[in-house]
Structure 1
Amino acid sequence: MATSPPPPAPNADRPAPLYLTWDDIGAATQALAELVTVGGIPQAVVGIVRGGMIPAVWLSHRLGIRDVRTVEVTRTTVDGINAAKTLLPIVRNPASLGDLTDLDVLLVDDIAGSGATLAHTADLLRALGPARVRTAVLTVNRANWTQEADPDRAIDHIASLNDTWIVFPWEGQHEH
């Protein structure tokens, strides 16, 4: 089994990564579910593969939504802390989204760094004719944000805002 290299040591230019726990993820998905509910329960949840699938499934259970779909959209070229990114998001298998015509759709990802992946995927969904597309993320890394609008204006539902690299429990990079 391949393992990720150890995280780089923090330096003055880069704060230490924040390591989230499963309890943190549970609390964040609960907070997102409460935020989403205010605007009505969506009919479908779309998780951005890979990182967005776990929060998408948790949200679907918390909201009672059985229609869960996936789309693979990536910007990082490898796994790991501060991984290199592609210039533009890369979409694989958009047909996995199926027919979204007239549906209220919730698009979910684990993190918005620059915001490009989420924005690109939301545009991809809107082109499929849903009645509404809302976005939700567990966290935003403001240190990497590059979109014109601030995260709280560009993303409908955010569980937390941070200023450093986030490591999720499913990434296998936690310190022991």
Structure 2
Amino acid sequence: MSEPTSPEKIFPVSWDQFHRDARALAWRISGDGPFEAIVCITRGGLVPAAVVSRELGIRLIETICIASRHNYRDQGELMILKQVAKDVVDKAGGKGAGVLVVDDLVDTGKTASVVRDILPDAHFATVYAKPKGRPLVDTFITEVSQDTWIYFPWDMGLAFQPPIAKGPVG
């Protein structure tokens, strides 16, 4: 996710909000299956995949591990650290039919494009989408502008938030 330059637009997401949004994603795609497996894109896709798998009753969960952030702020070259297991790919006819790919966010679409190349017939679902990546996903819940930085609950602790009109504290 490309972090915006000033003025910074931020979208903080609480655990409660993320859980509601992940359940909404499951509800939205519930009629699109049947899905035999979920492939989640780690790490961000792990949490929504757990919620979606529970809601849809999908027990086969696989990961594809792609590193796209080599230093927190900048997206570097994409590296596939772990491929989708061969038995899941084979089960899906080699192209992803019957597979649900889940991630937390599609940003520029670079990661989604890599996964689409591997599983072109999979249904791709993300909780949040930005305009550049949105064409690569089939289903999402909330769209945010390209220059918005999403603060996911696993990245935050409890801290004071200044009012929007006041700007950053410093």
Pick aligned residue for 1:160 from 135, 142, 150? 142
Q: Is the CA contact 1:69–1:96 (under 8 Å) kept in the aligned structure 2? A: yes
2:130 — aligned with what?
141
Pick aligned residue for 1:85 from 62, 68, 75? 75
> Any stretches of 5+ residues in structure 1 without a counterpart?
1-7, 127-131
Q: Is the CA contact 1:73–1:121 (under 8 Å) kept in the aligned structure 2? A: no
SS in 2 for 1:106: strand
Q: Distance in 1 between matches of 2:127 and 2:105?
A: 6
Runs of 4+ in 1 over 6 A off after TM superposition: none
SS in 2 for 1:160: strand
Matched, 1:120 2:114: yes
Query: Could you give the per-residue CA deviations for residues 120-163 of structure 1, whole angstroms, max 9, x where no partner exists?
Result: 1121234xxxxx40101110133xx2x5xxx1x43111010001
Taking structure 1 as reference, are residues 44 and 165 closer, same or farther at Cα in structure 2, changes over 3 Å only?
Answer: same
Taking structure 1 as reference, are residues 27 and 86 closer, same or farther at Cα in structure 2, changes over 3 Å only?
Answer: same
Q: Distance in 1 between matches of 2:101 and 2:31?
A: 16
CA RMSD after TM alignment: 2.3
Pick aligned residue for 1:100 from 72, 75, 89? 89
Pick aligned residue for 1:76 from 66, 69, 76? 69
Matched, 1:11 2:6: yes
Pairwise CA distance, 1:97: 5.7
Q: Distance in 2 between matches of 1:97 and 1:26?
A: 30
Q: Distance in 2 between matches of 1:106 and 1:116?
A: 18
Pairwise CA distance, 1:23: 1.5
What TM-score does the superposition give when structure 1 sets the normalisation length?
0.76
Q: Distance in 1 between matches of 2:30 and 2:108?
A: 26
> Any stretches of 5+ residues in structure 2 without a counterpart?
93-97, 161-170
SS in 2 for 1:99: helix
Query: Could you give the per-residue CA deviations for residues 34-86 of structure 1, whole angstroms, max 9, x where no partner exists?
Result: 2211212311001111111111111000100000011111211123xxx1011
Pairwise CA distance, 1:16: 2.7
SS in 1 for 2:26: helix
1:4 — aligned with what?
none
Matched, 1:20 2:13: yes
Taking structure 1 as reference, are residues 53 and 99 closer, same or farther at Cα in structure 2, changes over 3 Å only?
Answer: same
Taking structure 1 as reference, are residues 35 and 52 closer, same or farther at Cα in structure 2, changes over 3 Å only?
Answer: same
Q: Is the CA contact 1:69–1:97 (under 8 Å) kept in the aligned structure 2? A: no
Taking structure 1 as reference, are residues 9 and 28 closer, same or farther at Cα in structure 2, changes over 3 Å only?
Answer: closer
Q: Distance in 2 between matches of 1:154 and 1:10?
A: 25
